[in-house]
Amino acid sequence: MLLDYIQKQQQMLQEKGDFYTPLGIQVFTKDPLMDDSVDLDSVVARFESQLPDHIRDEVEMIIVGHFDEFEDRDINAFYKDGTLHVSNVQSDAEDLLDDLVHETAHSLESVHGRMIYGDQRLKNEFLRKREHLYNISWKMGFKIPKQSFMNVEYDQEFDELLHQDIGYDKLAEVLKGVFITPYAATSLREYFATAFTEFYLYPDSHSYLKKVSPEVYNKLVLLHGLDKA
């Protein structure tokens, strides 16, 4: 009887676009996914299965929909106060899963920030790569002050330079073997988050990540093993 009641309640919530996962994460659809071929339930199930419990500890809720922040900051997902906010405009299921995993990385920065950034190893690795990017940019004719490349915080103008002026496609070519993705070059936090996404979405192929970004890889191994400490 109790099981029947729980199942009926869960079905009612799902019909309203609001449900709880078996592991207790509340999922709310503020605005329907534009591509109805993307199965939200199955994506969230994959999200929970691919990330260990202690890595998801800070995630209490997932909201799918449109938010003003997406336009204000030119993003399609963000983490705030225990909640993953993700856009209802997704290319496919993999795109949605990528957003969920990526933003989970940012959820860990407040509780494990000292472990991730405290010894400056990530920062130093990131800045060495940024200096390489600076030299490449000058050779490509983009005469940008070096100071801009030494700023580890996210800067929208700098991101637009990489994304729009130089172009991520071109950067992917010239930065192969330096950054995991062109977006990883935009800031220190995104450097960590893109590596985190790679680490958990492709658990059986870490060799490239380990070779390209050894310091961030070592941090991810430490984070992954925290539940065994």
Note the pLDDT of residue 1: 52
Residues 174 and 99 in one domain: no
Residues 219 and 122 in one domain: yes
The total number of residues written for the chain in this structure: 229
Residues 190 and 99 in one domain: no
Note the pLDDT of residue 104: 98
Residues 87 and 124 in one domain: no
Distance of CA 216 to the CA centre of its chain: 14
Cα 207 from Cα 174, distance rounded (Å):
20
Distance of CA 37 to the CA centre of its chain: 23
Q: Who contacts 54 (Cβ-Cβ below 8 Å, separation ≥6)?
A: 226, 227
Q: Who contacts 211 (Cβ-Cβ below 8 Å, separation ≥6)?
A: 177
Residues 88 and 168 in one domain: no
Residues 100 and 147 in one domain: no
Residues 183 and 224 in one domain: yes
The count of domains in the chain is 2
The residue among 55, 83, 107 that closes a domain is 107
Tell me which residue of 128, 95, 84 sits closest to 216, measured CA to CA: 128
Residues 119 and 221 in one domain: yes
Residue 149 is part of which domain span? Answer: 114-228
Note the pLDDT of residue 9: 45
Cα 5 from Cα 10, distance rounded (Å):
9
Note the pLDDT of residue 229: 54
The residue among 53, 78, 107 that closes a domain is 107
Residues 91 and 13 in one domain: yes
Model pTM above 0.75? yes
Residues 67 and 134 in one domain: no
Note the pLDDT of residue 156: 85
In contact, 81 and 44? CB cutoff 8 Å: no
The residue among 90, 107, 124 that closes a domain is 107
| Mean pLDDT (10-residue bins), the chain, 229 residues | 47 64 96 95 97 97 95 89 97 97 97 97 97 93 91 91 89 92 95 98 94 97 84
Residues 158 and 222 in one domain: yes
Residues 138 and 172 in one domain: yes
Note the pLDDT of residue 198: 97
Question: What type of residue is 201?
Answer: L
